[in-house]
């Protein structure tokens, strides 16, 4: 991912806040409880700090464990997105926690569920991810490269389709158990020690309405402004490089990259700094 390319300096990157018309974005520039997340658990002297747009969470065993020890859990309601026909959750994370921790839903996890049949449950370790859907088999185990961040993306299209990506590659897709968000929906994420200590770092967690392709309008609020530009920068690639499923809104000419041609179109579409 190339950022701040020389032709991209026409706008000063500004990011005013987190609340968007149809997207919630936590960019890890502040602590979760300051950014709209509800604290479920912050226990056992777990450490948390911010560095360069990342949230770091260090957890160790103790306080009666192992199993168990330090833990951070956060949640937000997804009720405002009930009935949304095209919904996404995307997050970028790296952890050094061992895959043996996955049995304890550690070292890192993100879930979207509620009181209905639908559950999307991701448990992430240093070099492996476990995906459980709707409390039913099959459970998927995916190997990932260690020591680098990975981008995870879940797309939901009503009752018709779910797609799960890692780094832009489709890992799994199919017909969901039911439309989601539904049935008192919420998103939850955590870092946790089970038998081993670990450090997990989060770059962002974003969710909401999937933006229209080639619209320039990431947050689907019918403008193309500096808020959208913040995310446009994140999509910029070298020419002829696939920008991935999270960037189709920024690919104006539909050739899969987000390059200087797309930036020229973005500038033409630009409606003003902010509304």
By CB under 5 A, name the binding residues for Ca ion. Answer: 27-28, 53, 203-204, 217, 219, 221, 223, 228, 251, 253, 255, 257, 262
CB of 92 to Ca ion, least distance (A): 8
The smaller minimum CB distance to Ca ion, of residues 128 and 269, is found at 269
At residue 34, what are phi and psi to the nearest 5 degrees?
-85, -10
The smaller minimum CB distance to Ca ion, of residues 155 and 262, is found at 262
CB of 180 to Ca ion, least distance (A): 24
CB of 15 to Ca ion, least distance (A): 10
CA dihedral of residues 227, 230, 232, 234 (deg, nearest 10): -150
Name 26's Cβ contacts closer than 8 Å, sequence gap at least 6.
Answer: 18, 32, 35, 36, 37, 204, 205, 206
The smaller minimum CB distance to Ca ion, of residues 94 and 203, is found at 203
User: Residue 6 and residue 3: Cα distance in Å, rounded?
Assistant: 9
The smaller minimum CB distance to Ca ion, of residues 27 and 73, is found at 27
The token duo for 219 is 């947050």
Q: Please check whether residue 112 is in contact with residue 185, taking contact to mean a CB–CB distance below 8 angstroms.
A: yes
CB of 257 to Ca ion, least distance (A): 4
The smaller minimum CB distance to Ca ion, of residues 103 and 253, is found at 253
Q: DSSP secondary-structure letter at 101?
A: G
CB of 250 to Ca ion, least distance (A): 8
């Amino acid at each position: 991912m190339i950022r701040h390319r020389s032709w991209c300096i026409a706008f000063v990157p500004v990011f005013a806040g987190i609340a968007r018309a149809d997207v919630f974005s936590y960019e890890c520039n502040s602590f979760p409880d300051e950014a709209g997340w509800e604290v479920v658990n912050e226990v056992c002297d777990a450490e948390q700090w911010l560095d360069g747009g990342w949230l770091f969470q260090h957890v160790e065993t103790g306080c009666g464990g192992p199993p168990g020890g330090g833990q951070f859990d956060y949640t937000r309601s997804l009720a405002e997105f009930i009935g949304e026909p095209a919904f996404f959750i995307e997050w970028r994370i790296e952890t050094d926690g061992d895959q043996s921790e996955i049995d304890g839903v550690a070292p890192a996890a993100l879930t979207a569920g509620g009181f209905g049949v639908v559950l999307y449950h991701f448990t992430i370790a240093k070099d492996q991810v476990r995906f459980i859907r709707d409390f039913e088999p099959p459970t998927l185990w995916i190997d990932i490269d260690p020591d680098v961040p990975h981008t995870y993306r879940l797309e939901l299209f009503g009752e018709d389709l779910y797609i799960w990506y890692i780094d832009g590659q489709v890992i799994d897709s199919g017909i969901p158990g039911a439309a989601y968000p539904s049935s008192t929906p919420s998103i939850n994420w955590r870092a946790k020690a089970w038998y081993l200590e670990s450090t997990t770092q989060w770059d962002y967690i974003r969710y909401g309405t999937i933006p229209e392709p080639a619209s320039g309008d990431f947050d689907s609020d019918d403008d193309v402004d500096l808020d959208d530009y913040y995310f446009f920068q994140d999509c910029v690639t070298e020419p002829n490089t696939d920008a991935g499923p999270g960037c189709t809104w920024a690919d104006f000419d539909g050739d899969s990259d987000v390059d200087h041609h797309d930036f020229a179109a973005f500038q033409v579409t630009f409606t003003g700094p902010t509304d």
